[in-house]
Amino acid sequence: MPSPETCATAANIVNDVLHHGHSLDSTAAKRLKLQPAQNHSEIREIAWGSVRWAYRYRRLLQQKLHKPIRSQDTILENLLLCAFYQYEHLNAPDYAITSGAVEAANLLGRGHAKNLVNGVLRAHLRDPAFITAEQEEAQYATPMWLLSCLREAWPDDWKDIVDSYNSRPPLTLRVNTQFTSRSNYMLRLAEAGVDSTASNLSPWAITLAKPRSVLRVPGFSDGLVSVQDAAAQLSPCFLGPLQGLRVLDACAAPGGKTGQLYELATDTTSITAIDLPDRTNLIRENIQRLKGHVDIIDGDVTEPDRWWDGKPYDRIILDAPCSGSGVIRRHPDIRVLRRHTDIPRFSCNQLNMIQQLWPLLRRGGCLLYITCSIFPAENDAVIELLLENTKDACSVPSDYSLGESTRFGRQFLPCSEGDGLYYAIVQKC
């Protein structure tokens, strides 16, 4: 049962996101440092869930308030959203959730509003608010601009995509085949009483029946497995064998793909990873855990003159910054923080990144373009512009059969198996 301290911390995190526009991951990391480790899981559950359903709960709350909450007291609004989430999704008595929220108001310096919190929550329990079919933002917990984009891009699949947005993401592992096989590792999990299933999407992926801390995943600290979504494990399926090749992983942080490249490389493979200086520490941590070695560069991929040694690469992976529309279930704050006007900006930046990296690719070499977006404007449209404006660029069809075939690549939609990612191969002809 969540304590008042847990409720207060979760409310602060939600307020940082919904009112101040902060990233959920970054604000949670700061707030959780001040709380006992045993409370972290519960705080994350409430905070992530409340942000995930914010568009719905805000509408429900409006129906129970006689007048809007003052702008200086938005923390109260978000405390109430956290309580609504707990009523619907946590196995705790209603009275305990109500009491915890009331006491949390005091901890948040809003003791004067305890009666308001108590009154709103009791009124909600007596006469639950409801959402009509016309209130689509609330019904789907998704802003209208995003619903419109999904309907346009995926008219037959948009409801399934929204359902995935509103679900908890699975915990998927990538087996390090340098040390063990997927089947042998699954036996080890079974012996430890951990239920798991082999992914149909990736030959290295295992999904746990119940998420758990990585500290409780057998062999994680020894590099036996890594946490990585199944759809994000598919770079090798598009790149092919890496023996004797010089490979650049651009925008590589946090290093999941870099680590996988290292696991599958041979002694004759040269791997370099690059990202901004404030992000490369994540790559180093991942590679260190795998007991591997790759060259890691602190730099901006759009400024190769500052870091490139002049030797061409055989393969370049560009996992470009994007809208994140394919990973919203993992990052529910995207629905709150992202705007429709962001998409053209991302598309422009993505094309610029490819164009800046293109001279670094040897003739006959391939660039693998990846996004975690499901919008064509960030995917096929970017590749189309590259092909139109680059004489020595040609699209290469993939042999990989899963996912949705698009004009230039393959689109994986968010589902129970994995997140939504796009892959396309372009060769220097």
Q: The whole model's pTM is what?
A: 0.95
CATH homologous superfamily of 171-228 equals: Sun protein; domain 3 (3.30.70.1170)
pLDDT for 370? 98
Look at residue 1 and tell me whether its pLDDT is greater than 80.
no
Q: Average the pLDDT over 34-57 and give the result.
A: 95
Query: Quick one: CA torsion of 36, 21, 327, 372, rounded to 10 degrees?
Result: -130
Cross-strand pairs, 367: 316, 426
The percent of residues in the chain predicted with pLDDT above 90, rounded, is 91
CATH number of 4-136: 1.10.940.10
Tokens, residue 88: 């619907």
Distance between CA 143 and CA 246 in Å, rounded?
43
DSSP string, 343-365: HHHHHHHHHHHHHHHGGGEEEEE
Q: Which of 417, 369, 419, 374 is nearest to 205 (CA)?
A: 417
Q: Average the pLDDT over 6-33 and give the result.
A: 96
Q: Which of 356, 370, 357 is nearest to 420 (CA)?
A: 370
Distance between CA 400 and CA 237 in Å, rounded?
7
Q: Position 96: which residue type?
A: A
The percent of residues in the chain predicted with pLDDT above 70, rounded, is 100
Q: Which of 315, 195, 210 is nearest to 264 (CA)?
A: 315
pLDDT for 221? 93
pLDDT band of 68, cuts 50, 70, 90: confident
Q: What angle do CA 216, 204, 170 make, to 5 degrees?
A: 50
Distance between CA 300 and CA 383 in Å, rounded?
21
Segment 298-331, tens digit of pLDDT:
999 999 999 999 999 999 999 999 999 999 999 9
Domain 232-428 part of CATH 2.40.110.10:
no
pLDDT for 72? 82
Tokens, residue 31: 């707030």
Q: What angle do CA 158, 234, 371 make, to 5 degrees?
A: 50
Q: Position 294: which residue type?
A: V
Segment 136-188, tens digit of pLDDT:
999 999 999 999 999 999 999 999 999 999 999 999 999 999 999 999 999 99
Q: Is 242 helix (H, G, I), strand (E, B) or coil?
A: coil
> Is 372 one of the catalytic residues?
yes
Query: Quick one: CA torsion of 187, 192, 196, 199, rounded to 10 degrees?
Result: -50
pLDDT band of 128, cuts 50, 70, 90: confident
Phi, psi of 48 (to 5 degrees): -65, -45
- Where do the CATH 3.40.50.150 domains begin and end in the chain? 232-428
Contact 358/351 with Cβ under 8 angstroms?
Answer: no
Segment 194-241, tens digit of pLDDT:
999 999 999 999 999 998 888 899 999 999 999 999 999 999 999 999
Segment 393-415, tens digit of pLDDT:
999 998 888 999 999 999 999 99
pLDDT for 70? 84
Q: Position 287: which residue type?
A: I
Contact 200/244 with Cβ under 8 angstroms?
Answer: no
Distance between CA 385 and CA 115 in Å, rounded?
59
Largest interatomic CA distance in the chain: 71
pLDDT band of 67, cuts 50, 70, 90: confident
pLDDT for 66? 82
pLDDT band of 130, cuts 50, 70, 90: confident
From 149, 366, 372, 415, active-site residue: 372
Q: Which of 282, 285, 259, 249 is nearest to 179 (CA)?
A: 259
Segment 71-95, tens digit of pLDDT:
888 999 999 999 999 999 999 999 9
Whether omega for the bond prior to residue 254 falls within 30 degrees of 0, making it cis, is yes
R_g over Cα of the chain: 23
Computed over every residue of the chain, the mean pLDDT equals 95
Segment 271-300, tens digit of pLDDT:
999 999 999 999 999 999 999 999 999 999
Checking 97-105 for CB contacts under 8 A at 24+ apart, the result is: 97/2, 97/121, 98/122, 98/125, 100/1, 100/2, 100/3, 100/4, 100/6, 100/7, 101/4, 101/7, 103/4, 103/7, 104/4, 104/5, 104/7, 104/8, 104/11, 104/79, 105/76, 105/79
pLDDT for 399? 84
- Where do the CATH 3.30.70.1170 domains begin and end in the chain? 171-228
